[in-house]
Amino acid sequence: MKRLIILAVLLLSGAYAFAHKQVSATSPDGQTKVTVTISDRIWYDIESHGETLFKDCHIGITLRDRTLGLKPVLKGKKITKVNETITPIHPLKSSKVENNYTLLTLTMGGNYKLEWRVYDDGVAYRFITSLKGDIEVMEEDGTWQLAAPCKLVLQQPKKFKTSCEELYTVVESDQWKSDDKMSELPILIMGEKQKVLISEFDLFDYPGTFLKSNEGNAFSIIQPKNPLEYEDNGDRKQKILKEADYVAKTSGSRTFPWRYMLITQRDSQLAESTMPVRLAPANVIGDTSWIKPGQTCWDWLNGIPFGPDVNFKSGINFDTFKYFVDFAARNGIGYMLMDEGWALDTRDPFRTNPEVHLPELIAYAKDKGVGIIVWLPWLTVEHHMDLFEKFEEWGIKGAKIDFMDRQDQWMINFYERAAKEAAKHHIVIDFHGAFHPSGLDYKYPNVLTYEGVRGMEYNGGCFPDNSLWMPFIRNAVGPMDYTPGSMLNYQPERHHGGRPICSGVGTKSFNMAIFVIFESNLQMLMDNPCRYDQWPDCRDFLTSVPVNWDETRVLEAEAGQYCITAKRKGDKWFIGGITNSTGRDFNLKLDFLPKGKEYKMTSFADGVNAHIIAMDYVNKVSMVSNSTVLPISMVRNGGWCARLDPVE
């Protein structure tokens, strides 16, 4: 009898060991580790640099007829070391990106796999399924359990319908309640020793992700249901009449989006991150030589030229747009973006405003080397997908598509359908009224930028205390259409202005420095040409700033507080520095410059009275080298920027 009891205990112990399997993978530098436990669910822990960041997190996908991750069976594992160099088509930070990681592939019973990448600076996971036919995804289980309480930086909409332009809020993780507002992605976790940015990538045929609190320092994925019936509600909105009970109906054989955690020990690593490049899907459109990133003029916020050189009635007409085109041509600006009003009816892209003389304007701009981009509500694109063919015939170079304001599966698929059709006809795209970039701009590189940010369109509602989060959160996941470049500048308590005379919060040097720091493959000059010409030194600096870079180095940074970044294009360097409502002084070492070379530095600093009169600035030319230690001062809501040209 005793022997039978011992045997039974041994059998039970064996069953328990079989049911609870642990698999680990460590980053190339040995500092970051993910441990996956296969038991009743799929659990994981993450440690980095001697600290446990996430503990007892669980993941899975609930389908109509089964749950991937419930009572999972591990059939096999494989660990691979990957070392490769990526050359981005549009290098927002660097023309060469090292992609080195440990790949852990877990093959599970039930025809699915779980793939993990463990980087020196983060962890990413995704599900891969090999199921027959279509599947219906009811919900995704993705839960992050923090190992210790900390601050969270969130953007919290009231509902799924959002343009992703909310102000950032800082919330204590143990005070975020389950009935509080959810958050969009990305979010920033502010640990005492390390910070973690959570986002998603490679998002196709699947809804975007939001996060809701589970309380107890935990939060999990929540997604909008897929719409089944809908109708137009005006020229740019859609009313959803009926939703499915699932979040996605999709192919049973596919890769699901990456869920990634960028892990940093220095705030500068957030602003330097190339994680999106490393997780990006391949370009599917082939030749991209026709795609030209660059700057663009824009008429929406400041569209009424005035002054001694304006002898015509300004407005939405040929003479005004010709004035913008002439300015672009004089200053080497590649595009002129015409916002609402170029068409007679926003619902009909084929009937143009006769005051604009669009064919003549396109021909005039082409002769000057300037491409025309036009604004459209997304519903107009949805109802007239043939407009891209017509635009190519007319000679239009790009489309700014606006007001999507949703992330359900149907809308995610609209983004891809529009990008694909535009690429067929050599049209570049700016997605406005959009969510954060999640991989479409790599699959279809004609997608140059996204909004999904509280930018200068908000006038007084866009201020440095909020904008100082952007290099560390929003720009860390991809290009953003912030629409910078204001020449009318105010401190927050003195700000005023609105269309057609819009202005920016922050000093003039702040508004110039963000041209270097904020990243977009299509960078707006939001102000009027006549105002740029009033400050030719500022104009010449702004129009000289590239949109793509060979190298990025963040010199000084604290998330939400200040950021000073140096960027190189060819043999030229640009430096931009910005601060929030606290003024700051720094001594910058320029030891990143090549030894033995001198540079002519053209700099712009806050003036002595810029803390009150934000327009006050100082333009200076000096010589610098690798041994230079550069003292800079930024007033509250201020900035500093410079261009460094090598001396032959």
Residues 54 and 48: their CA atoms lie apart, in Å, by 10
From the candidates 402, 527, 556, 616, give the one annotated as an active-site residue: 402
Which spans in 446-521 are helix H?
464-467, 508-517
Surface-to-core class of residue 190, CB atoms within 10 Å of its CB (0-12 exposed, 13-18 middle, 19+ buried): middle
Please give the C-alpha separations between residue 244 and each of 136, 249, 256, 379, in angstroms, as whole numbers.
Answer: 10, 9, 20, 21
Residue 322's CB is within 10 A of a number of other CB atoms, namely: 18
Q: How far apart are CA 551 and CA 94, in angstroms?
A: 5
282/297 Cα distance (integer angstroms):
31
Count of other CB atoms within 10 angstroms of residue 452: 27
> What's the burial of 647, exposed, middle or buried (CB within 10 Å: 0-12/13-18/19+)?
exposed
457 belongs to the catalytic site: yes
Q: Which of 121, 200, 457, 606 is catalytic?
A: 457
Separation in Å, CA 507 to CA 369, 510, 578, 617? 33, 5, 10, 8
- Hey, is 457 helix, strand or coil? helix
Count Cβ atoms below 10 Å from residue 5 Cβ, excluding itself.
9
Sign, CA dihedral 537-539-542-545, equals negative
CB-count exposure of residue 493 (10 Å: 0-12, 13-18, 19+): exposed
Q: Pairing between strand 639-646 and 617-625?
A: unpaired
Report CA 416 to chain centroid distance, whole Å.
Answer: 17
C-alpha distances (whole Å) from 384 to each of 418, 493, 628 are 10, 45, 57
* Tokens representing residue 470 in the block: 């952007």
How far is CA 342 from its chain centroid? 28
Task: Read off φ and ψ for residue 252, nearest 5 degrees.
Answer: -75, -15
Token output for 99: 């992609």
3-state secondary structure 312-329: CCCCCCHHHHHHHHHHHH
Known catalytic residue at 556: no
Residue written as token pair 């569209």: 303
By annotation, the residues acting in catalysis are 402, 457
